Structure 1
Amino acid sequence: MNNRTRARTFGSALAGAVLLAGVVLAPPAASAQDRVVLTKGHTDAVDVHYADGELSLKVHDDTVSPAVIRDPADVTFQVLPQAAIEVPADPRYSFLGAVGATVWVLPQTQDPDLLWPGWNTTTLNSGVFTGDKVKLSLVGVDGPGNVTLFGVNAFGDPLIRFRSDDGLPDAIDVPVHTHAHASWAFSAEGSYTLKFQADATLTNGTALTTGPVDYTFVVGELPATGPDVSLSISGMADEYQPGDTVTLNAVQSPQTELDHYHWFSRCQGADDFAVVPGEAGASYSFTATRELNACEYVAKLYDDDHNVVAASEPVSLWVAFPPDPVGPSQTITATIDESQGALVVSVNPDDRSVVLPPAQLSTGGDRWESNGELRPVTVTDTRAGQPGWSVSGQIPGDFTSSGGQSFSSSFLGWTPQVTSQGTGQGAVAGPPVAPYLVGTPGTGLATSNLLASAPNGAGRGTAQLSAGLALSLPTETAAGTYTATLTLTAI
């Protein structure tokens, strides 16, 4: 990539936003054992929260579905080797180092092959803090090189937010309801500790602070964290009778001195594995019941720092029906009204804003283009009759800006996705919808388009939906920040 192209990728000219309407629970908090390394996808690395009179910093992890809230101490942010670029021959970017020097950059606009961290105050309410803002500071950096966070304006000029090599702390004021991204630049490979802090003043004059909070970034390859060992599960029989004892054993290969395990299970209707409370040994015993039929089990091995060293492949439990009764017996018949139950489509009220990356000129220079991701949409069908369902989306109005400019929502298209679903639910993503282009078919999301569906005789359970978003605008579109509302309908 030449220097001129790299400088252009830092630029910005137009930003769009899509708001979704719906109600579900907020993302759950990850448990302390869920230490993770984030390498690709979107995350609000510095996520500001206020609850019970205290200000705190969390990590909103969107790299998993559904998203979870994590403690920064449980997260390592990896800047992959492919983030390396050369400093361009553009004096505006001299703060990155000498021309041609290598820096590792997580860009302001999303690259699907890299991590996309940002900061977020969308959980904070108006009227709570003086000036409806918090102060976000980078108060310290410990690592092998310099760290700079910067944005780029419509003219390609860098706007430095935080910079470690000219003295810290650096601070910016962040309004509530803000979700923002910048380029994160590191001058050398290795492990860094970035200390962020949030401060605010309540409207009654009370000063709040999180104090310095450590964030761990590793630039380049991760150091080895433990022995090279694999894990498998032995002891699972082909079939059990109700009441039989099931004993599963975690087997290391080769055997090590590590002896800290956790067991996880996932039964029908569940999307994710859940930890089995109290089971931290190499063996796990329980009683087989028909309710556990088709459940899956996984074992994980941990080192002394509670990092996952190895995880087994899932094994499945099969439990036979009880034998036919003999002697005096009774037959009990239960009837389920197939008309009962409900179909519900919802989105997380704290995760319903889609902020598209600043638009870039197309390769041909004739369009403004930006790509993003729809926030998770949850469909839950509890109807016994399983009549099937369909979920559609439409932006009935135009995108508008605070300055009164607008453009048609037909310029936004999507590629629907089913990111997870229950066993046998049968959900299928709808067809891609292209943004409107003069002279070509397609009306974008100005009309109702199918996001996903489940056929008659299926659909029961919970499915997670999403969509890749594609914005394509004429170059004469006025610069500004535009918003519109996507309406979801389930039938």
Structure 2
Amino acid sequence: MHARLSPAAPAARATTALLAAALLTGLGPGARAAHAQEGDGDLGQTVAPDEANATGEAVLDVGHVDIGPRFTDGEWHLHGRDDAQSPPVWRPLTDVVTRVVDAAVQQAPDDPDFAFLDAEPGSDLHVIPQTQAPEVIWLGWNTQDPEVRERVNRGVTLTMHGVEGPGHFAVFLQNGDLGAPDVLWDGDDPGPQELWVDLNTHTHANWVFTEPGVYVVDFEISADLITGERVSDRAPLRFAVGEETDAQEAFAAADPADEPPGERESAPPDANAADTASEGDGSVLPATLAVVGGVLLALLVAAAALTLRGRRARRLAEREDGAAS
């Protein structure tokens, strides 16, 4: 048996049980796959071809929202489908802040399987649950837009490039009490994290924030069309976590994709620039320094990854020692 996240209030306990919403399968190196279970509770839905686009800032704190791809005037976009109103509307993610209210607070489980949360057992977490809770926004993703289903070949790739916020962020699936959490995106892991999503699927997962405040998640959705064309769109998913957090601060938060590449992700050294410098002054020193710099950068990235794994390993060992004593 595996632990679940524990709701803070008895009323939430009945509504935030972590039941199965999707099954994961492998899809080759570098990509994972998420598949919704057809007919699983409230996951069954139909997306109409004539659903409208909405504009203007919107703070979403209750009801059902899916992020997903849509063609607007022939252009591929990553939007949010808001069906808190009827009929549902699609909103640009830049117009949306997802508020995670304090009714979403649960306690971090005392279970080594949840070490990836970087949270002390019993500490408060804000959690958008995998199964719907009436007082908490229910956030998932779908690939059910009719034009998307008609034009895309097989499925899409949903990539998290990074996250900025005051605490740790993670998204995972859990198959009730019978399985360990399956981590889809982890804010501690460097580099792009890809998730393959089949066409005509609808999935919900657990979105976890260890501290209140503003979080901005840098998402990209890409696909191959049946014509052979490759399409992609990148947009920020903004959160105001905790009722004391100002939603306007979240709207004002910078889009990580707008940062200079050198600040967002480490870029490899420019070999052409090194060659040009070498030819200009007749010396191999600039090129040598560029190579050395690239090696040092690779070592730093590797060391950072090992440090993260080491921290988690130490936490697991400490918990096991504590249990043994």
The residue type equivalent to 2:196 in the other structure is D
The residue type equivalent to 1:26 in the other structure is D
8 A contact 2:165–2:215 mirrored in 1: yes
1:225–1:53: structure 2 CA closer, same or farther, 3 Å change rule?
closer
| Partner residue in 2 for 1:200 | 223
- What's the secondary structure of 1:94's corresponding residue? helix
Tell me how far 1:12 sits from its aligned partner.
2.4
The residue type equivalent to 1:55 in the other structure is W
1:209–1:41: structure 2 CA closer, same or farther, 3 Å change rule?
same
1:52–1:5: structure 2 CA closer, same or farther, 3 Å change rule?
closer
8 A contact 1:138–1:162 mirrored in 2: yes
1:73–1:20: structure 2 CA closer, same or farther, 3 Å change rule?
closer
Distance in 2 (CA, whole Å) between partners of 1:15 and 1:203 is 25
1:26–1:218: structure 2 CA closer, same or farther, 3 Å change rule?
same
Distance in 2 (CA, whole Å) between partners of 1:37 and 1:27 is 20
Distance in 2 (CA, whole Å) between partners of 1:24 and 1:128 is 16
The residue type equivalent to 1:116 in the other structure is W
| Partner residue in 1 for 2:51 | 27
Distance in 1 (CA, whole Å) between partners of 2:235 and 2:217 is 8
- What's the secondary structure of 1:160's corresponding residue? strand
Tell me how far 1:216 sits from its aligned partner.
1.1
* Higher fraction of strand: 1
Tell me how far 1:224 sits from its aligned partner.
5.2
Residue by residue over 1:74-125, the C-alpha shift from the partner in whole angstroms, topping out at 9 and shown as x without a partner, is 1110011121211111221121222222211110000001000001110154
Unaligned runs of 5+ in 2: 8-15, 22-36, 253-325
Distance in 1 (CA, whole Å) between partners of 2:126 and 2:98 is 13
Residue by residue over 1:54-76, the C-alpha shift from the partner in whole angstroms, topping out at 9 and shown as x without a partner, is 32111111112222111111111
Distance in 2 (CA, whole Å) between partners of 1:47 and 1:139 is 16
Distance in 2 (CA, whole Å) between partners of 1:67 and 1:85 is 29
| Partner residue in 1 for 2:262 | none
| Partner residue in 1 for 2:98 | 77
Residue by residue over 1:191-237, the C-alpha shift from the partner in whole angstroms, topping out at 9 and shown as x without a partner, is 01111101112233322111x301110110254579xxxxxxxxxxx
1:73–1:200: structure 2 CA closer, same or farther, 3 Å change rule?
same
8 A contact 1:55–1:198 mirrored in 2: no
| Partner residue in 2 for 1:117 | 139
User: Which structure has the higher relative contact order (CA within 8 Å, separation 6+)?
Assistant: 2
| Partner residue in 2 for 1:59 | 80
Residue by residue over 1:444-485, the C-alpha shift from the partner in whole angstroms, topping out at 9 and shown as x without a partner, is xxxxxxxxxxxxxxxxxxxxxxxxxxxxxxxxxxxxxxxxxx
1:224–1:84: structure 2 CA closer, same or farther, 3 Å change rule?
closer
Alignment of 1:464-479 (within 5 A): none
Instruction: State which of 7, 12, 15 in structure 1 corresponds to 2:20.
Output: 12
- What's the secondary structure of 1:165's corresponding residue? coil
Instruction: State which of 167, 179, 196 in structure 2 corresponds to 1:156.
Output: 179
1:121–1:141: structure 2 CA closer, same or farther, 3 Å change rule?
same
C-alpha RMSD over aligned residues: 2.9
The residue type equivalent to 1:64 in the other structure is Q
Distance in 1 (CA, whole Å) between partners of 2:150 and 2:89 is 27
| Partner residue in 2 for 1:134 | 156
8 A contact 2:70–2:148 mirrored in 1: no
1:173–1:225: structure 2 CA closer, same or farther, 3 Å change rule?
closer
1:62–1:166: structure 2 CA closer, same or farther, 3 Å change rule?
same
8 A contact 1:142–1:194 mirrored in 2: yes
Distance in 2 (CA, whole Å) between partners of 1:218 and 1:122 is 27
Distance in 2 (CA, whole Å) between partners of 1:175 and 1:206 is 18
2:113 is equivalent to residue 92 of structure 1? yes
Distance in 2 (CA, whole Å) between partners of 1:209 and 1:177 is 18
Distance in 2 (CA, whole Å) between partners of 1:55 and 1:129 is 11
Instruction: State which of 154, 174, 179 in structure 1 corresponds to 2:197.
Output: 174
Distance in 2 (CA, whole Å) between partners of 1:37 and 1:178 is 26
- What's the secondary structure of 1:93's corresponding residue? helix
| Partner residue in 1 for 2:210 | 187
Please give the TM-score of this superposition, normalised by the length of structure 1: 0.41
Distance in 1 (CA, whole Å) between partners of 2:82 and 2:230 is 28
1:49–1:157: structure 2 CA closer, same or farther, 3 Å change rule?
same
Distance in 2 (CA, whole Å) between partners of 1:5 and 1:43 is 22
Structure 1 vs Structure 2: percent identity of aligned residues?
Answer: 33
Tell me how far 1:136 sits from its aligned partner.
0.4
1:143–1:5: structure 2 CA closer, same or farther, 3 Å change rule?
closer
Tell me how far 1:126 sits from its aligned partner.
4.4
